Amino acid sequence: MTDQDKNTRVDKFEKRRKNTKTITILSILAAVLLIVLIGIWIFGGGDKDKQDDAKKDENNVEIQESTDERDTESADTNESDADDKQTDESKDESDQDQEDSQKDKEDEDASDEEEVKTEPVESTDDPNVIEAYTGNWKPVGTEQTGPHTTTYDDGSADRIEIRQAVTYATGLAEDDMIEHWIGNGGDQKVVATVSNNEITEIYRVYLSWNDDGGWQPTKVEQLKEVDY
């Protein structure tokens, strides 16, 4: 073997060794790059997924809060409407109760007026009496309790209730009535002579005490003039 052939073989071996080394290095670099890419894909992708999930959760929370606010506003509106409706209904009921009460009072007053019927009676020999009549008057009511003894003092319960009974029987208004005389008419009985302020209407009223209801008119005489 010549030296030239020997050198040629050495060169070929050296060239293959270099190529093998280069290929090995490139393979290692490729493997490292592949590992890096895989790591980036795994860890980077996981973070992105976490970020996406976090963003989704945040969006869901915002949507839920917005829904809750709308539900709260709707509930407040409904509650306010219900309160307003209840207030209106209560007002309507109160107004209706007041109207019913007023109507009942008017009906009762009208009924009382309709129920009172008078009948003329023969007058006594008193020439001062124009006419006399009785009626189906009811006791006017009393606040007195227990055994009754008539008291004629001004401002007493008897004087106040006697005045009410007299206006009831004569139709005179309390502020248009003069009491000329109030006196004893017998056991638990009273006689009152009254007139209007102009003394153009003069009456003598007979009253009896009713234990269950107070003073009750029994007869009225219309007079020509005040005789007391």
Q: How far apart are CA 79 and CA 67, in angstroms?
A: 18
* DSSP assigned state of 176: G
Q: How far apart are CA 24 and CA 16, in angstroms?
A: 12
Between the alpha carbon of residue 196 and those of residues 120, 170, 220, the distances in Å are 22, 10, 15
* DSSP assigned state of 141: -
What was the pLDDT predicted at 110? Answer: 46
What was the pLDDT predicted at 58? Answer: 65
What was the pLDDT predicted at 125? Answer: 82
| 46 HSE (CA, 13 A, CB side) | 5
Query: Could you tell me if 191 and 183 are in contact, meaning their C-beta atoms sit under 8 angstroms apart?
Result: yes
Query: Could you tell me if 162 and 172 are in contact, meaning their C-beta atoms sit under 8 angstroms apart?
Result: no
Q: Give the chain's length.
A: 228
Between the alpha carbon of residue 12 and those of residues 3, 26, 97, 105, the distances in Å are 14, 21, 124, 136
What was the pLDDT predicted at 205? Answer: 98
Q: How far apart are CA 168 and CA 216, in angstroms?
A: 9
Q: How far apart are CA 184 and CA 98, in angstroms?
A: 43
Q: Does the CA dihedral 184-190-196-202 come out positive or negative?
A: negative
What was the pLDDT predicted at 210? Answer: 94
What was the pLDDT predicted at 119? Answer: 93
Render each residue's pLDDT in the chain as its tens digit; 228 residues.
555 555 566 566 566 667 777 778 888 888 888 888 888 888 765 555 555 555 666 666 566 666 666 666 666 666 666 666 666 666 667 667 777 666 565 555 544 555 789 899 987 788 999 999 999 999 999 999 989 999 999 999 999 999 999 999 999 999 999 999 999 999 999 999 999 999 999 999 999 999 989 999 999 999 999 987
What was the pLDDT predicted at 80? Answer: 65
